[in-house]
Amino acid sequence: MAYSSLLLPRISGIALFLAFPPFSIFPLAWVGLIPYLQFLTRRPGWVLTLLGHLILSLAYFGGVLYWIPRVTVTFGGFGWPAGVGLFMLLLLLLAVFLFPFTLLTRLVAARSEQQALACAAGFWLLTEVGRNYFAVNGFPWALLGYSQYPYHWIIQIADIGGVYLVSFLLVMVNASLLALFRFRAFKFVALAVSLMLAANVYGVYRAYFWEPTKTKQIPAAIVQPNIDLAAGREHYAAKYFEELPAAYRRAASSGARWVIFPEAQNPYFFTQDFYYRNFLTRLVSVGGVDLLFNSTSVESETRYFNSAYMLGEGGKVVYRYDKQHLVPFGEYVPAKEWLGFFDPLTHEVSAFTPGNEYRVGRVEDLKFGTLICFEGIFPEIAREFEKRGAEIFVIITNDAWYGRTAAPEQHLQIAAFRAIENRRMILRAANSGYSAVIDPLGRFRRKTELFESDLILADAAGYQGRTPYSYLGEWLNIVLIVGTLPLAVKRGVKGSRRKVSKKRR
């Protein structure tokens, strides 16, 4: 196969990243993998296979995550060469985790091209689930299923198998279309089309004919302060001692019984700063409205936590949750004894300690779970809170790091999948936007704009009932993966036997 065939993985990589924000041409994800599958099933040599895989990975992940160098350069203290170098290392890591899809598809194609296409969705599923749990402690951003947020009906199947099931269906449709064009594989296409139609019918039912069961509803307020990360002490003082308290009082006077502040850059540590602690305590004691907010917790010189606190009646601390899934190279340096040279990227926050408990809070009779920033991209964290009785989720995040890029929109759409997977409302408080109220169907009932100070007043509704995904977790996905592998091996053995038989004739 000629090197000109490398155009195929390039087309696929570009098509896949165009399916995500900021372009959001989501239909491309239904056909975007066809060129790459065509490339693999033509059985290129292994050098070409590796080159094609790198091209696909760099175009796909590089396009979706283009904003990462800005973060490392603007806030990490690196120059552009170093920032781009770190970005390339991340892209190579993501390419490694996607490689089982390429490797297994190519191996099976050597024996049976049709079976390679039949197994492709399972192979892709293996890489996405693996990336969630093992890529530097997990990095499930840019999962293919997230591109389908605008296709509201289809993503409702996430309550069965998570975002991964959406990805599985996407790859299956890509593979079936190629099988139709090349092999007239009508049965495979019929299966894929049937599953897609069933998913749409299920989505229509969920969207228009199903009502989740509410448990409790209270008036709440989400505050978006738009705190500038690069500002000086005066800016922080004005935000934390004037604007945020004013927003709290405004929410209280509007009838809110629960106020939520976002995660944000905060030089005042609640556990260490006596004046700040007393100020918040008096604010809540006088206002009489529960306040959920973010602060760094300091327990010793070596133990720092990224925490969510809630002050209740009399300004007393009634809830604390310590972030468990920290941002690698942002809040801690993994394998620091070997990778300590990354310290300049993380400055003083590299010493954060992960929490060790999923704590469910309670405001009046409403039970809630708190996900802090990065934790919102992990389905298993939301499931753990739901398992422990959370009737509503709160996400507090600081997306100001990303600037005016596609990252805030990508992050917001990821959060919507957590709502669908568990059929829970989400109150999302973001420092600079997007703050939002997300209903159990993943719809944005209220949403702010980027880099504006704002206040959302909304009813915080708790919901009960478990979804198949919240109950079974990844078991359905594991069954799909494990069911694919023996099928591939079996077909491969049959294919090799046919070749031997032909040679004997």
Kindly state the greatest CA–CA separation across the chain: 92
- Three-point CA angle 131, 132, 135, nearest 5°: 50
Instruction: Name the residue type at position 131.
Output: R
Q: Measured between alpha carbons, how far is 505 from 503 in angstroms, rounded to an integer?
A: 5
Cα–Cα distance, 123 to 322 (Å, whole number) = 35
Contact at 8 Å (CB) between 297 and 305? yes
Q: Considering only CA atoms, give the Rg of the chain.
A: 24
Task: Round to whole Å and give the CA distance between 226 and 435.
Answer: 11
CB 459 within 8 A of CB 218: yes
Q: What is the DSSP string of 391-428?
A: SEEEEEE-GGGG-SSSHHHHHHHHHHHHHHHHT-EEEE
Backbone phi, then psi, for 40, in 5-degree steps?
-70, -40
Catalytic (active site) residue 187 = no
In the chain, the N- to C-terminal Cα span, in Å, equals: 28
In this structure, what token pair is assigned to residue 184? 């007239």
Residue 323 is among the residues annotated as catalytic for this protein: yes
Catalytic residue among 113, 128, 239, 323: 323
Please confirm, yes or no, whether 263 is among the known catalytic residues. Answer: yes
State the catalytic residue, choosing from 367, 373, 409, 421: 373
Cis amide leading into 328 (omega within 30) = no
- Neighbour-count burial of 243, counting CB atoms closer than 10 A to its CB (0-12 exposed, 13-18 middle, 19+ buried): middle
- Detail the DSSP E strand segments found in 332-391: 361-363, 366-372
* Catalytic-role residue among 113, 263, 386, 391: 263
Question: Which are the catalytic amino acids?
Answer: 263, 323, 373
